[in-house]
Structure 1
């Protein structure tokens, strides 16, 4: 008798492995197209594992890594900032985030960014995750931290930040569902945090 759960006589393998599995791309040369203290653009000549050559593989090289912070208060609300973005010419909902300075550690950098963008001091800071948002074209690395706000807020950077708000977890979930939060870094940070809050 054959049931819906019976195994096939010749089951397909759960994965297929290329003959060159484990091999890496090899850089044969590099042309510098643009350099700055913030970002570099290179055109690399690379050899693929199966021998093909790419004459000009464009790569964005970021000098600094970045960190974002999911900040909560004693009521469990999440700190959100309205950020004026020049590139998109829009005001966006985001979590505090920015570049990590040379020689600076990830968690102190997260606390500094919160202070600069909201005026709040923080405690109980911990690392949530790290990820590469576009590893097919750049080496950019993002880190996410979680911390607690303490005391009353001080001044924040009004050149970039329009306003600071506290939002309940349900409000943040609704903002994500309604696509009110469009910044990819903030979305990843919040979604990673919310996985543990489900």
Structure 2
């Protein structure tokens, strides 16, 4: 698993003339890069850059997936997803995956295996690292301050249908990792 980001390397066909951070918060930076297109034109490309994150596909011994449901103020709706969260400074992705699974759901995994990494959208410059949990042991959640999370389980063979049947757009943060795990024969 590489922690190098493609946006940190030079590309001679699309050189960066300037990179500007316009806004910084404790959660992300926002800015733009002035890029020279292959035809010589300069254009600004805007981005958001939060910390990299992890997401955990966690099936129980009963062949159910562990989900988290929470209200998402940005979307003005409840969201069903998988245990996930940001990687803290100095933390390895697998450590963050163990931590987020425990904090959000109370479950501990005997083992986590790396599945894949992906960039969630064309506007955000961060990577989601997907892990698959085995040997789950139930426990008490310990969410971060401000997180109001409910833990529930859904039969593995119904997980995609449950996600797609929810009001609003499908949660890609849950769908993509489930499909990656399924493609790898883990589900």
Task: With the length of structure 2 as denominator, give the TM-score of the two structures.
Answer: 0.82
Q: CA deviation at 1:23?
A: 4.4
Contact kept in structure 2, 1:82 and 1:93, CA below 8 Å: yes
Q: 1:183 to 1:45 in 2, by over 3 A?
A: same
Contact kept in structure 2, 1:34 and 1:42, CA below 8 Å: yes
1:160 aligns with 2:147: yes
2: CA distance, partners of 1:69 / 1:156: 16
Contact kept in structure 2, 1:71 and 1:79, CA below 8 Å: yes
Which runs of no fewer than 5 residues in structure 2 stay unpaired?
1-10
1: CA distance, partners of 2:20 / 2:149: 40
1:68 aligns with 2:63: no
Which position in structure 1 is the counterpart of 2:170? 182
Which runs of no fewer than 5 residues in structure 1 stay unpaired?
1-21
Question: Which residues of 2 match residues 1-80 of structure 1 at below 5 A?
Answer: 23-54=12-43, 56-62=44-50, 64-80=51-67
Question: 4+ residue runs of structure 1 moved beyond 6 angstroms?
Answer: none
2: CA distance, partners of 1:139 / 1:29: 16
Deviation string 1:151-181 (CA, Å, 9 cap, x unpaired) is: 3321332843442112111221321342468
Task: With the length of structure 1 as denominator, give the TM-score of the two structures.
Answer: 0.78
Say what the alpha-carbon RMSD is for the aligned residues. 2.2
